Structure 1
Amino acid sequence: MAINPTHIKELFEEAVLKYQNICHQLNYFLAENPELSGEEFKACQKFVDICREHGMEVEEEFCGLPTAFRANVNNLENPQAHIAILAEYDALPDLGHGCGHSMSGSMSLLITLALHSISEKLNVNIDLIGTPDEELHGEKITMVNQGVFKKYDFAMMVHLNSNTTMPKVKFLALSAYRVRFYGKPAHAAASPWEGKNALSAAQLTFHAIDQLRQRVKPDTRMSYYIVHGGKASNIIPDYAEIQVELRHSNRAYLDTVIEKVENCIKGAAIATETSFDIEMIGYPYSDMLQNEPGIEVIKSVMEEMDLPFIEEDDSMGSSDIGNVSYQCPAFHPMLACSNDYFTLHSQEMVDVCLSEKSKEVINQGARLIGNTILSLIEKPELLEKIKEDFGSKSTLLVNS
């Protein structure tokens, strides 16, 4: 197939402008109707309906997930490559789209519509995958566990940031747990010695974890809070519940930290003569497997777009796309959406989602991913380098 790269990029730009209003309105709908993780029924249906209206085949309840889908941009018999565009659309409790998923998901759809309109000129297969429940359980990991991403040579999405753009993010591996302590109630004044204080076990766990900080590597993050600590001050608490989140830049090392924290919990239970159980919350998130050849392509596209960016290598949160990166080359640049700094998961991000500024951000993100994909089509050797880099790290694939 003869491909004129300049002509295809011009057609892509025209298509972005053609379909932009659909995706701007989708963003406003999502921002005004936020749905929690795993409950994104209206959002998912919007994506599905729009894709079908524009002639795409869509698989609903993808991987058995009620609010996931996969839409096919094209379906060649012998494609040069298989590429996945990822879309998130879940919101945060009370806050709504404080992580910018309404904008991020909408730009993924805009890329998809634009590329579908010129699909006869593409020699790669492209899918849009709706990935729900990123904020809580991490349902991309359900897809990873079913081997979904093994067929893809490249997967990408864009996340929003406040005032800085970054070609890559160093995500931390994450595991979260609910710990429940069981004791014995007693009158706190008349006969406290007859009780077994579950809250004391929880507090002792916190102190032990704090003492543990000096024995773990700097990239380790350990946080916690009390979910339930008793019912009255004059009753020895017979039940206490806490949540603990543990993170590190390397999954294998994090697993050793988990063992140490479990010993803190066991020791606290022994000291207070209580019992306990531990429940994992969601899936264990992996760190992000960085693919330098792919990151260099993203940088070059940012430069072509005159999009200022900073080289960021500090750890920044956690996401289930880290698990995807261990099954195929995956990329998650951060795109500035404001001239002012603010924290993520904030009202300021919600305000941007609802503003006129969101339109410019959605178009910019769509161009970033779209032009990255078109660069790989134009220069297949770049994609080969990405695949070679991923293959060379195959011994690290602990979550494939």
Structure 2
Amino acid sequence: MKTLNELKDLFLKEVSEIKGTAFDFNYDLAEHPEISGQEFETVKKIFAILDNNNIKFEKELAGLPTAFRATIKEAPNSDVKIGIIMEFDALPEVGHACGHSASGSISLLSALALARLNEELDANIDLIGTPDEEVAGRKIDLANQGYFNDYNFVIMIHMNSQVTYPSLQFLALSDMEMNFTGATAHASASPWEGRNALNGAMLALHGMDMLRQHVKTDTRISSIITRGGESTNVVPGKAQVQTVMRSSSRAYLDEVIKKVKNCADGAALATETQVEYHPINADFADMKLNEPGIEAIRSVMRELNIPFEEDDKSMLGSSDIGNVSHVCPAFHPMLAITDKYLPLHSKEFADVMKSDHIKEVIENGAKIIGFFILTALKEPGLLDKIKTDFGKNNN
């Protein structure tokens, strides 16, 4: 059996030989983005690459038309199972402004290189295609249906601007639709006969604004009015609000949801309207961090001379990989694509996906994933430490 350093050298050689495939894939996606849940041409391109590399794959995982699982390494006599997660959905109007063309290419490149080390690895390794992260969070479906249950860990890398982080703390997220119902009436001739549903919605928003002063600092409440009436001379009988709530703790988020509903219930009482609540999307869970694995990722970044800052445990975003982290150990480093700040989901961020510099980012990301997996397989006790930490944090 080869040593860890020998395996790393072989892995780097394979990355160097096949990285052009990943670069071309990134540029193709950047030029032809497909929004969440509509990634049909994208997965065809992925399947063609897998076919060309003699890698078997399963389509429509969990009944999702653009989800898949590819077998990178099969080891029937090994009980070690590792997953590389691949994202590839884009955003409306701004395309790959969250960097999924590059992060998906990182996952693809690391998987292809590891596949070429097949005989040297005593582990089962899969590439898991997870669509629609931006809207519905389809990793949640996969997690709920047990597709991540048997993995020792899973890993992917996301893009960031300016700063690289070995890990990130995502917030739990819930959203809801509030439907206010009142009574219509002529706004001038007989307004007293009406009950203004829009007033109920606006009063609820004012209550939520005041609530912000009294929630913990990592809690976020954001809302929009999506329906507020049909005509200015009619007292609105229907109004609708969409609200998103986040917090680093799922338990505390549940408390916040109750407080938000209290605001709306009180507004309905004050305006003599009624309010009903409906969820919009599945709940995103908070991210469970795994310190032994994160420390190994830090070591890999140091070895590869990739500068990073200590883990940002106050990240105020959310991702469906948080749900995965409650099922198995999950790692989600953030890799800087620029040395200056660019907002995620901006045209400027999307433009970097088409730049020449993104090649270096993709190659470095693949090296991080590959080196981390090889380290986990060869460093005595690391897999056990990851498992123990996961069990401790999930009790």
User: What are the Cα deviations for residues 70-107 of structure 1, in whole angstroms up to 9, with x where unaligned?
Assistant: 00001111225110000111111211111001100011
% identity of equivalent residues: 51
Question: Corresponding residue for 1:398?
Answer: none
Q: Does 1:27 align with 2:26?
A: yes
How far apart, CA to CA, are the structure 1 residues paired with 2:334 and 2:394? 26
Question: Corresponding residue for 1:316?
Answer: 316
User: Could you state the TM-score of these two structures normalised by the residue count of structure 2?
Assistant: 0.97
What amino acid does structure 2 have at the position aligned with 1:362?
I
Q: Does 1:232 align with 2:258?
A: no
Q: Does 1:391 align with 2:391?
A: yes
Q: Which moved more, 1:307-316 or 1:130-139?
A: 307-316
How far apart, CA to CA, are the structure 2 residues paired with 1:93 and 1:274? 35
How far apart, CA to CA, are the structure 1 residues paired with 2:86 and 2:129? 5
How far apart, CA to CA, are the structure 2 residues paired with 1:389 and 1:146? 24
TM superposition shift of 1:275: 2.2
User: What are the Cα deviations for residues 184-237 of structure 1, in whole angstroms up to 9, with x where unaligned?
Assistant: 222222221111111111101101111222332221110111112122222211
Q: Does 1:68 align with 2:67?
A: yes
Question: Corresponding residue for 1:157?
Answer: 156
What amino acid does structure 1 have at the position aligned with 2:352?
V
Question: Corresponding residue for 2:347?
Answer: 347
How far apart, CA to CA, are the structure 2 residues paired with 1:260 and 1:142? 28
Counterpart contact for 1:137–1:282, Cα < 8 Å: yes
User: What are the Cα deviations for residues 38-59 of structure 1, in whole angstroms up to 9, with x where unaligned?
Assistant: 1111112211221122111100
What SS is found at the alignment partner of 2:283?
strand
Counterpart contact for 2:82–2:125, Cα < 8 Å: yes
What SS is found at the alignment partner of 1:43?
helix
How far apart, CA to CA, are the structure 1 residues paired with 2:110 and 2:232? 57
What SS is found at the alignment partner of 1:36?
coil
Q: Which moved more, 1:35-44 or 1:54-63?
A: 35-44
What amino acid does structure 2 have at the position aligned with 1:109?
L
Distance 1:174 1:9, change over 3 A: same
Q: How does 1:39-118 map to 2 (within 5 A)?
A: 39-79=38-78, 81-118=80-117
How far apart, CA to CA, are the structure 2 residues paired with 1:190 and 1:244? 34
How far apart, CA to CA, are the structure 1 residues paired with 2:384 and 2:66? 33
How far apart, CA to CA, are the structure 1 residues paired with 2:50 and 2:281? 29
TM superposition shift of 1:139: 0.7
Question: Corresponding residue for 2:327?
Answer: 327
User: What are the Cα deviations for residues 18-41 of structure 1, in whole angstroms up to 9, with x where unaligned?
Assistant: 111111111111111111111111
How far apart, CA to CA, are the structure 2 residues paired with 1:156 and 1:13? 19
Question: Corresponding residue for 1:169?
Answer: 168
What amino acid does structure 1 have at the position aligned with 2:49?
I
TM superposition shift of 1:359: 1.1
TM superposition shift of 1:327: 0.6
Counterpart contact for 2:11–2:117, Cα < 8 Å: yes
Question: Corresponding residue for 2:119?
Answer: 120
What SS is found at the alignment partner of 2:62?
helix
Q: Does 1:130 align with 2:140?
A: no
Counterpart contact for 1:48–1:69, Cα < 8 Å: no
Counterpart contact for 1:37–1:132, Cα < 8 Å: yes
TM superposition shift of 1:154: 1.0
User: What are the Cα deviations for residues 323-354 of structure 1, in whole angstroms up to 9, with x where unaligned?
Assistant: 10111110001000012111111111100011
How far apart, CA to CA, are the structure 1 residues paired with 2:196 and 2:181? 8
Cα RMSD between the aligned structures?
Answer: 1.2
Question: Corresponding residue for 2:302?
Answer: 303
How far apart, CA to CA, are the structure 2 residues paired with 1:189 and 1:95? 44
How far apart, CA to CA, are the structure 1 residues paired with 2:11 and 2:394? 34
What amino acid does structure 2 have at the position aligned with 1:347?
K
Question: Corresponding residue for 1:376?
Answer: 376
Counterpart contact for 2:218–2:316, Cα < 8 Å: no
What SS is found at the alignment partner of 1:374?
helix
What amino acid does structure 1 have at the position aligned with 2:362?
I
What SS is found at the alignment partner of 2:159?
strand
User: What are the Cα deviations for residues 216-263 of structure 1, in whole angstroms up to 9, with x where unaligned?
Assistant: 222111011111212222221122111100000001110111111112
Q: Which moved more, 1:2-11 or 1:243-252?
A: 2-11
TM superposition shift of 1:173: 0.3
What amino acid does structure 2 have at the position aligned with 1:199?
L
Q: How does 1:240-279 map to 2 (within 5 A)?
A: 240-279=239-278
Counterpart contact for 1:83–1:155, Cα < 8 Å: yes
How many residue pairs match? The answer is: 394
Q: Which moved more, 1:344-353 or 1:268-277?
A: 268-277
Counterpart contact for 2:186–2:235, Cα < 8 Å: yes
How far apart, CA to CA, are the structure 2 residues paired with 1:160 and 1:74? 26
What amino acid does structure 2 have at the position aligned with 1:223?
S
**Where does structure 1 lack aligned partners over 5 or more consecutive residues?**
396-400
What amino acid does structure 2 have at the position aligned with 1:222?
I
User: What are the Cα deviations for residues 246-294 of structure 1, in whole angstroms up to 9, with x where unaligned?
Assistant: 0000011101111111121222222222223222121111111011001
What SS is found at the alignment partner of 1:227?
strand
Q: How does 1:191-206 map to 2 (within 5 A)?
A: 191-206=190-205
What SS is found at the alignment partner of 1:129?
strand
How far apart, CA to CA, are the structure 2 residues paired with 1:84 and 1:370? 12
How far apart, CA to CA, are the structure 1 residues paired with 2:118 and 2:316? 35
TM superposition shift of 1:295: 0.5
Counterpart contact for 2:218–2:314, Cα < 8 Å: no
What SS is found at the alignment partner of 1:282?
coil
What SS is found at the alignment partner of 1:328?
coil
